[in-house]
A = this chain, B = another copy of it.
Amino acid sequence: MAKSKFEYVKQFEQDDKLLSNCWIVVRIDGRAFHKFTDAYKFEKPNDERALRLMNHAAMAVLKDCPDVVIAYGQSDEYSFILRRDTDLYKRRSSKITSYITSLFTANYVHAWPQFLYTPLSRLPCFDGRCVCYPTDENVKDYLSWRQADCHVNNLYNTCFWNLVKQGKSHTEATARLAHTNSESKKNELLFQEFKTNYNTLPEIFRRGSIILWKNSLLEIQAASAAAAATALPSQQRMKLTRQLTVIHESVIPDKFWREYPGIVPSLS
């Protein structure tokens, strides 16, 4: 069989290596999640179980791919930030993007029963994109952009779904919110009409989720009574370890970047 005769088609593949020494951001989005969340009757404006499933799938990405230093998720999207100097798949854009999207999807589907209980029939699906950021400031601003977006959307959606639960149609709720284009007006609406102080709503809804490796001191478990009896001073029984952690802090203030200096060293 003339293998060589057809092999010329390999040359049509075009190089898509991402620029060296740039932060790489892969952002994935749920495909047609509007219909998907309707089909499974997700709670609106936020379904905490679904958000925790997103976080679970994202953590699997960080565990599998050590070059991801931080991830940020909200709603049906998740962003993964790869180190400037990553050489994953020789920085080939399509490979990196599809691998992360696939890994996330596999974990989302597999863990679904643990989080959402209903059996899956219609399957979820994600698509991804890949963006390069040349400076540390740019990548920090990227995360701030997504978190600011989470806030703006969540405030709006909280108002919207409260109005709907109150009995308004979607059209009525939209019309009502057209008159509250400032943030303070929406806060007021929630407070006046729904006795809700927006700032006391769960942080996971208001700020989204950040996943990172957190350093912590763990007490070493004495492996045996004998070892325990060696009576080390307590500080020597501790070891530094890192743990994958989900937090809901604001990434906008400099404080955040000083608190986690391992992510973008120049910002700490």
Contact = CB atoms under 8 A, between A and B. Distances in A.
Contacts of A142: 6, 9, 12
A14 interface: yes
B149 A126 contact: no
A129 B126 CA distance: 16
A148 B28 contact: no
Contacts of A98: 28, 94, 97-98, 101-102, 126-129
A31 interface: yes
A60 B12 CA distance: 27
Q: How many copies does the complex hold?
A: 4
Interface stretch (A41-49, A69-77, A117-125, A159-167): A117-125
B131 A134 contact: no
A152 interface: yes
Given A1-B148, A6-B144, A12-B132, 19 more contacts: A6-B148, A9-B133, A11-B20, A12-B133, A16-B93, A20-B134, A94-B97, A94-B129, A94-B130, A98-B127, A99-B101, A99-B126, A103-B123, A105-B106, A105-B109, A106-B123, A106-B125, A109-B110, A110-B123
Interface of A: 1-3, 5-17, 19-22, 28, 31, 60, 64, 89, 92-95, 97-99, 101-110, 120, 123-135, 138, 141-142, 144-145, 148-149, 151-152, 183, 252
